Amino acid sequence: MIPKELSFLEEKIGYTFKNKSLINTAVTHSSYSNELRAKKINISCNERLEFLGDSVLSIVTSEYLFVEYGDLPEGDLTHMRAALVQSQALASYARRIGLGEFLYLGHGEEKNRDQQSILEDAFEALLAAIY
């Protein structure tokens, strides 16, 4: 499957990237990057962006909950944040925007395009790219 044009993803999320390499990296799975590297083509995968996106997601979610639920104690806020940023929730957010249709995956991962961990990681990478 050939991923959809990334301008459609920009439309879906309501954000246009000034630096298009960020969105390209965000949707590039390591399996695709590794296949190209074997052909002497160097392209970055989304793993580093995923790392950053995890922290971006945590701070943005924490700030939102802190402001919106100013009367709740820390323990309640922590539980709410955990529910919002858990793997299943992130994959669900990715499915809502059809993120799987835009991913560059290696041949062996094509059948896993809708796999929770792949979508979760790509969603975090996308958040980092926006950040």
> Which residues neighbour 6 within 8 Å (Cβ) at sequence distance 6 or greater?
20, 23, 24, 27, 102
Helix, strand, coil percentages for the chain (3-state, nearest 5): 70, 0, 25
Closest CA to 88 of 116, 114, 67: 116
Q: Which of 47, 54, 101, 114 is catalytic?
A: 54
**Beta-bridge mates of residue 104:** 28
The residue from 50, 120, 121, 124 that is catalytic is 124
State yes or no: is 47 an active-site residue.
no
What torsion do the CA atoms of 111, 114, 116, 119 make, to the nearest 10 degrees? 110
Active-site residue 54, yes or no? yes
Q: Which residues are catalytic?
A: 54, 124
